[in-house]
Amino acid sequence: MALQGRVMKADKYITAYRRMRNQPLWRLLASGNGPTVIGLLQSHLYEKERSLPASILFERLTRDLEELRAQGDDFPRTAQAYVSNWLSDGYLERRFPPGAIEEEYELSTATVEAIRFLSAIAEPRGYREPPVAGDPGAGGAGRGYRY
């Protein structure tokens, strides 16, 4: 009976997590370009400013995309096209504040949660790179990690 209860509990978690895979937070973290998208959005809409007029966001992203392309990354579309895609994917929200002359963009709740999650596990006190085989400081299994 106890085993059956644990399996049923696991099944409940599995079902919930499968449903969550379609949510923006999960899709963003799992996407191939997730680290780049999160890094770009974090640097422009999380660090200092929480919202930006469209023209400023497009200008800044255009510069970043040009730098990424110069480094060999494949980002063939325009900043406007990526913002449109991120908006439809649920990573950004668009609003038109009273008195504004253009729309503004801000991070969705899911993107803020993704940034907070990644920031928490990337802090030096909570994360260390896995040891490299052959490295004199590699040590045994589990050494160097904090859980």
Enumerate the domain spans of the chain.
6-120
Q: Is the model's pLDDT at 125 over the cut of 90?
A: no
Q: Which helix (H) or strand (E) holds 84?
A: helix 79-89
The structural architecture, per CATH, of the domain 6-120 is Orthogonal Bundle (1.10)
Q: In 3-state terms, what secondary structure has residue 69?
A: helix
Alpha carbon distance 145, 147 (integer Å): 6
Full-prediction pTM beyond 0.85? no
Each residue's pLDDT tens digit, 11-33: 888 888 888 888 888 988 898 89
**Residue 56: predicted pLDDT:** 97
Residue 100 structure tokens: 């504004």
143 has a pLDDT exceeding 60:
no
pLDDT digits (tens, 9 = 90+) for 49-108: 999 999 999 999 999 999 999 999 999 999 999 999 999 999 999 999 999 999 999 999
DSSP H stretches of helix in the chain: 2-20, 24-30, 34-45, 54-70, 79-89, 109-122
